[in-house]
Amino acid sequence: MLRRKHGLIVVMVVVAETVWVVVRVQLRDTDFRILSSSELFFVMKKFHLSIVVTNQCNLRCSYCYEQSKTAKRIRIDKAKSIVAQYLNSPEYDEVEIDFFGGEPFLEFQTIKEVCEWVWSQDWKNKYIFFATSNGTLIHGEISEWLREHKDRFWVSLSLDGTKESHDKNRCSSFDRIDLDFFRECWPRQTVKMTISKETAPELYRDITYIHSLGFPITGTNFAEGLDWKDENLVQTVFKQLELLAEFYIKNPQYEVVPLLNMAIYKCEAKERNKWCGCGETMAAFDTDGKIYPCTFFTPMTFSKEQLKALEGINYSDAELFIDNECFDNCYLSPVCNCCYGANYLTTGKINSRDRSKCELIKIRAVFSAAIKAQRIIEKPDDTYENALTIRAISRINELYNH
């Protein structure tokens, strides 16, 4: 993060044949400095606690990376003990408690008892309960209980687009979801959308459909563990993202999905940081109470031998998680979203990124740059982030817009 002390002058030229943008920037009398870590200290220390209440799921999604599901489920007393440990911890001020699976609502009675036990007491730390669900079980008693407690228990729905796309990915489950219930209870909660090879050709239709339902979208990810290098597939994604970029340029009232809302200014101010807080500000407890750095690193995904090889890693040492080849040679490395569990799954190393997604990242960056250029033209705020963004737009077009 940086502080601006003087102004900037921006001159833009838009090439209208398509959504590509060329930008020139001139900085005048500019002086910036990097803020120290003490200046960036957050007063509120938040921890993301995930509890795997069950390994089981009532669906078999086409892209699921949890291939070692068992009948295991957590004991209620064990779950209570884990929650209490963090709600009374002096190290944190706020805890997000995430019930995870499998499908967590297969263990609704456990979730209900743990929550009501917590709500009946006073705790040192603030907290909120959360779950991501396929939505198929949230009816009757479960939906009534969630509606009653909607202000202190939030649920994010996994929704992969239209009925056609959703049913391809998620076992023909679209008609088993009460979409109105989710809109009613959590209108500001985002949905999670996963893109498979089978649904990539309808990516534009699926995202705009979710927008039409009124749901915010923050999770739009290409499925992990798949090989995305196929040239025809890359061209398909290009065409779909071009349509989507044009949609956002013409409809600025919609919040751009992360897929095309990359923080490209970071490419002009590279920092050697971790992508997420796994093993630091987040942890996942499996059904037996054993702790893991996040929900990806559990026995549902990895073998005992694979997990044992990770023991002793210092998760606060960012250098262990940086792919140096990418960092040194790729302009987009700061915005190439990276899951260390997915790295381990596809490459066998936590710091080695999945190279099959490289072309997809470049396409995303080009169209992200086009959208951001249009937004800056509409609202040319005099900020250092905008100055970096403009530089990044120019560089991305130079490198990748061919």
**CB atoms near residue 3 (< 10 Å):** 11
Cα torsion for 80, 83, 84, 86, to the nearest 10°? 160
The predicted model gives 151-155 an average pLDDT of 98
Cβ burial of 208 (10 Å; 0-12, 13-18, 19+) is: middle
- Range of weakest confidence among 31-35, 187-191, 233-237: 31-35
In this structure, the chain runs to a length of 402
The predicted model gives 213-222 an average pLDDT of 90
Give the C-alpha separation, 191 to 217, whole Å: 5
Q: What are phi and psi of 156, to 5 degrees?
A: -105, 130
Q: What is the chain's alpha carbon radius of gyration, rounded to the nearest angstrom?
A: 22
Between vectors from CA 325 to CA 321 and to CA 331, what angle results, nearest 5°?
Answer: 100
Give DSSP secondary structure letters for 9-35. EEEEEE-TTSS-EEEEEEE-S--EEEP
Q: Where are the alpha helices (DSSP H) in 25-162?
A: 76-87, 108-119, 140-148
Cβ burial of 60 (10 Å; 0-12, 13-18, 19+) is: exposed
pLDDT (0 to 100) of residue 97: 98
The predicted model gives 112-120 an average pLDDT of 98
Confidence of residue 68 (pLDDT cuts 50, 70, 90): confident
**Global pTM?**
0.87
Residues 223/233, Cβ–Cβ less than 8 Å: no
Residues 53/212, Cβ–Cβ less than 8 Å: no
Which of the two residues, 37 and 220, has the higher pLDDT score?
220
What Å distances lie between residue 234 and 63, 203, 280, 360, CA to CA? 18, 12, 35, 7
Taking the mean position of all CA atoms in its chain, how far away is CA 305?
A: 28
Residues 98/305, Cβ–Cβ less than 8 Å: no
Shortest CA distance to 365 belongs to which of 348, 389, 387?
Answer: 389
Place of tokens 């959703």: 166
255 pLDDT more than 80: yes
Cα torsion for 71, 75, 76, 81, to the nearest 10°? -130
Q: What value does the mean pLDDT of the chain take?
A: 89
Give the tokens for residue 266: 């970071």
Residues 6 or more apart in contact with residue 164 via CB below 8 angstroms = 202
pLDDT (0 to 100) of residue 69: 80
Give the C-alpha separation, 16 to 367, whole Å: 14
Confidence of residue 382 (pLDDT cuts 50, 70, 90): confident
